[in-house]
Amino acid sequence: MTEAKIPHPRHGLDEQLNAPVRLSLLALLAKVENAEFGTVRDALDVSDSVLSKQVTQLETAGYVHAAKGYVGKRPRTWLSATEVGRDALRRHLDALRAVVGGL
Amino acid sequence: MSENTETPAASSSAEELLTAAERGGGVGDDLARDAAVNDGAFAITLALLIASFLLAVEFVFPSRNLLLMFGSVVLYGIGVVAVVLWNQRRRRASRHGWAKRYARGFAITMAFYAIGVALSVAPEPSSIVFWLPYALLTAAPLVIAALWGGRR
């Protein structure tokens, strides 16, 4: 009889979240209903273009939603984590803890 | 989840990623706390404006003093516009469930307000013993929405 093989925790990792900025971004958005783009950019200490690129990647993966609006004449972009994104974050963090715990 | 060919070692170590997640989560907690104060101040101010206007409808309008009536309507209008604009400009984030809680609180407050306006046309003389608690009851749903904490 063959033994059931337990998969290595790294298989639970999410490729999209292996970049620190994307992971920080999703972890931040998971704590709020939504947050304004400029505030997130300043909080994560990244440039507009870097954040924009990371948001696009997470949006493509279905983890983040970006909504555009206006306050007066000023455009504002609101970012929020989707349920899929929150689940992915939970699984990824569990896998990371398992990887670290296995050291 | 995508097929995982890239391990943390290929981009960042697992510890680095956990630190990044903790940092992001910490910033998110700070934003949620600030949002709670901002949204709470907005909802409570709006609730007090609505309750005050209800008292004005009951006690100022029957006097048929046009200046007082006009003044209270203008003050109410300016107050609402000012608090909405202030909130829009200051708001940087929202707590979990805030939009739903606010919508529910606002709807119930406006329902109490509408009932109050309907009661105010009754021929009985106005009594502060009834109307002050009723105005507070009108404000209560929005105040509760403001003070009720988000989960997660």
- The model's pLDDT over A64-99, given as tens digits with 9 standing for 90+, comes to 999 998 887 889 999 999 999 999 999 999 999 888
* Beta-bridge partner residues of A78: A36, A67
Structure tokens at A89: 């974050």
- Main-chain phi, psi angles of A49, to 5 degrees: -70, -40
pLDDT of B65 reads 85
Structure tokens at B130: 């009834």
DSSP character for B108?
A: H
pLDDT tens string B135-152 = 999 999 999 999 986 544
Nearest CA to A64 out of A23, A9, A97, A92 is that of A23
Nearest CA to A97 out of B128, B83, B15 is that of B15
- Give residues with Cβ within 8 angstroms of A93, minimum separation 6: B18, B21
pLDDT band for position B5 (50/70/90)?
very low
CA distance B144 to chain A (A): 19
Residue A6 forms part of a structural domain: no
Residue A8 forms part of a structural domain: no
Residue A39 forms part of a structural domain: yes
Residue A42 forms part of a structural domain: yes
CA B89 to chain centre: 15
Q: At what angle do helices A20-29 and A83-101 cross, to 10 degrees?
A: 120
Write down the mean pLDDT value for chain B.
87
CA–CA distance, B113 with B134 (Å, rounded to integer)? 9
Residue A7 forms part of a structural domain: no
The whole-model pTM stands at 0.81
The domain that contains A39 carries what CATH number? Answer: 1.10.10.10
Residue A3 forms part of a structural domain: no
**Residues of chain B contacting residue A14, judged by C-beta atoms under 8 Å apart:** 1-2, 4
In B, what residues contact A, Cβ < 8 A? 1-8, 10-12, 14-18, 20-25, 27-32, 35, 88-89, 91-99, 150, 152
Closest residue in chain A to residue B15, using alpha carbons only: A100
The domain containing residue A96 runs over which residues? 15-101
pLDDT of B13 reads 86
Number of domains in chain A: 1
pLDDT above 90 (res A47): yes
Residue A45 forms part of a structural domain: yes
- Residues in A 30-59 with any Cβ partner in B closer than 8 A: 30-36, 39, 43-44
Instruction: Give whole-number Cα distances, B134 to B58, B139, B141, B146, B152, in Å.
Output: 11, 9, 12, 19, 34
- Give residues with Cβ within 8 angstroms of B136, minimum separation 6: B51
pLDDT of B11 reads 47
Residue A36 forms part of a structural domain: yes
